[in-house]
Amino acid sequence: MAYSDKVLDHYQNPRNVGSLDKNDPNVGTGVVGAPECGDVMKLQIRVDDSGKIVEAKFKTYGCGSAIASSSLATEWLKGTSVDAAAQIKNTQIVEELSLPPVKIHCSVLAEDAIKAAIEDWRTKKSALSGKSALSGIAAEAKS
Amino acid sequence: MFGLTRSLDIDAQALEKRYLALSRECHPDLLRTQEVGDCAAVLQRSAEVNDAFSILRDPWRRARALLETASPGVLDRNKKLDPTFLADALELAEEVAFAKQEHVQPLQRRLAACVDADWAALRTAIEHGDLDAAARRFHASHYHKKALSDLELKA
């Protein structure tokens, strides 16, 4: 089985490799894995106040297709809104990278990682707004 | 088939004894005079015995078979591992990838200890009847074993 040129390109020159501070409230982190093949994918997004993804980073331990899928995902994520990012489907990744059927699970992993990162960011956001709501009640009770 | 109690730990000697006895019963060479129709059945049987033996003698393959027999699909249902664990696994993989020669041995020992710990936890989970936890630990061990085999390539 031969890798497509696009997979090779992402594999040899992966985009946006690295990490963001996972404790930053504006950063969402998704870590997912495929136990059968021992692949792990970490994908992180930094979201601004308007809900736009301003930065995306990844680290992947796995085959060329897994690396390419996550590298491509970070390219697509940057500059898009969180809501649009949530709509990204693994089939789009398959199409763009011409992944063969045996490598489709790599694109599924990338989609899962995107969803997990968004979920993490949303959880952080709602926890924060929950806190400020609580402090509001306390302030009212005091006055 | 082997007439042994179904459990995670088995008596390796008893297993081998049963395997040899079963092999004699269905060894194609010893049954050459039989009818042609029987021949296929004997071959089939001997292949089954060999498969079963190779699974049973390997602790991890035995564990997989035990889990799947006790609760079919349990491994598939528990594929999602804790993100914190996965993040650690990613760090381990990175450490392996960039390990300098002098760090290979200590890292090897650490990873081997991780695999041992996985096995112990798997056993405890099975003892407590928590097959889901056992399945997750089975999957987790994969990452440690993969890191270990990657490291062996460097050693």
Express each pLDDT in B71-91 by its tens digit. 999 999 999 999 999 999 999
Q: Which amino acid, residue A22?
A: K
Give the pLDDT score at A1: 58
Q: Which residues of chain A have pLDDT under 70?
A: 1, 131-143
**Interface-testing mutation among A31, A41, A44, A70, with chain B (most B C-beta atoms within 10 A):** A31
Interatomic CA distance for residues A43 and A118, integer angstroms: 10
Interatomic CA distance for residues B18 and B50, integer angstroms: 12
Closest Cα in chain B to A41: B90
Give the pLDDT score at A142: 45
Alpha carbon of A62: minimum distance to chain B alpha carbons (Å): 10
Q: Which amino acid, residue A98?
A: S
Give the pLDDT score at A85: 96
For residue A34 the two structure tokens come to 């495929």
Q: Is A33 helix (H, G, I), strand (E, B) or coil?
A: strand
Q: Which of A37, A86, A128, A134 is catalytic?
A: A37
Q: Is A41 helix (H, G, I), strand (E, B) or coil?
A: strand
The crossing angle, in degrees rounded to 10, of helices A64-77 and A5-12 is: 80
Give the gyration radius of chain A's Cα atoms. 17
Give the tens place of pLDDT for each residue, B41-63: 778 888 888 888 888 889 999 99
Instruction: State the ipTM, two decimals.
Output: 0.79
Alpha carbon of B147: minimum distance to chain A alpha carbons (Å): 9
Interatomic CA distance for residues A87 and B70, integer angstroms: 39
Cβ–Cβ below 8 Å for B86 and A30 = no
Q: Is A123 within 8 Å of A29 (Cβ atoms)?
A: no
**Interface-testing mutation among B90, B98, B141, B150, with chain A (most A C-beta atoms within 10 A):** B90
Of B86, B94, B97, the CB nearest to A33: B86
Give the pLDDT score at B22: 86
Q: How much is the mean pLDDT over chain B?
A: 88
Domains of chain A, CATH where assigned: 5-142 (3.90.1010.10)
CATH topology of domain B79-154: Monooxygenase (1.20.1280)
Give the pLDDT score at A135: 54
In DSSP notation, A86-108 reads TT--HHHHHHHHT--GGGHHHHH
Alpha carbon of B128: minimum distance to chain A alpha carbons (Å): 23
Give the gyration radius of chain B's Cα atoms. 20
Q: Which H or E run includes A133?
A: helix A104-142
Q: Is A83 within 8 Å of A114 (Cβ atoms)?
A: no
Report yes or no: B79 at the A interface, CB cutoff 8 Å: yes
Interatomic CA distance for residues B148 and A70, integer angstroms: 24
Give the tens place of pLDDT for each residue, B127-144: 999 999 999 999 999 999
Give the pLDDT score at A24: 94
pLDDT of residue B39 exceeding 80, the answer is: no
Of A35, A42, A59, the CB nearest to B79: A35
For residue B48 the two structure tokens come to 């089954």
A63 tagged catalytic: no
Among all chains, which residue has been given the structure tokens 């495929």?
A34
Among all chains, which residue has been given the structure tokens 């950063």?
A27
